[in-house]
Chain A
């Protein structure tokens, strides 16, 4: 079963606009990660945010984490056509070896 659930399931925007996608999860976590998957390919790690962090930046990406609401958001600023992909959040509940639980993903389409 999925721990994280992304919202919306699909997002369509124009190049240059910002894209925001959200992730909600059910149980306490050690950290939360976001991954990107281009059509039919492997996932690429984007960013990790730990449970004691509230916000993190990486280039055009900004991730926030609200552990009280059990939710996270990924903001992509000034989006480009190359950002077209599916985005997944993955949560780790800890307890030793790291096995992330993935959501179903948000499909982002950026129109040139």
Chain B
């Protein structure tokens, strides 16, 4: 099976802009989770979607949002970007208790 794919891989934005990241899970996986990884905070959970519904949410401001489509593909959106949003954004699809991660989208906010 193909692995988890994320697009784009790299992104440069300026403060105040918004960004949409995309994730395609492994075929048959219905759960998709998003994480933010920074050197200072480590790997932090953003949210999880299962069958198009947000099932869990981390402690991030409302500027961070997501959705999942009927084919399990997921998008996350960050509005009004701040410098601190610069990070590696990882998507993972789950089968039972194991998460399978995509390569990530590296976002740089200038």
Contacts and interface: CB of A to CB of B under 8 A. Distances in A.
Interface of A: 2, 30-31, 33, 35, 40-45, 48, 88, 90, 92, 97-105
A72 B37 CA distance: 23
Nearest to B42: A104
Contacts of A99: 33, 45, 48, 56
Contacts, number: 54
B36 to A, nearest CB: 11
Contact of A48 (B4, B56, B97): B97
Given A88-B43, A102-B42, A102-B43, A97 B56 contact: yes
B97 A97 contact: no
Interface string B79-110: 00000000010101010111111111010000
27 contacts: A30-B97, A33-B97, A33-B98, A41-B103, A42-B92, A42-B101, A42-B103, A42-B104, A43-B101, A45-B99, A88-B43, A90-B99, A92-B97, A97-B31, A97-B48, A97-B56, A98-B96, A98-B97, A98-B99, A99-B45, A99-B48, A100-B99, A102-B42, A102-B43, A104-B42, A105-B42, A105-B43
Name the 10 nearest CB pairs between A and B, nearest first. A42-B101, A102-B43, A104-B42, A43-B101, A42-B103, A98-B97, A99-B56, A45-B98, A42-B102, A97-B55
Contacts of A31: 97
Nearest to A94: B97
Nearest to A98: B97
Contacts of B42: 2, 102-105
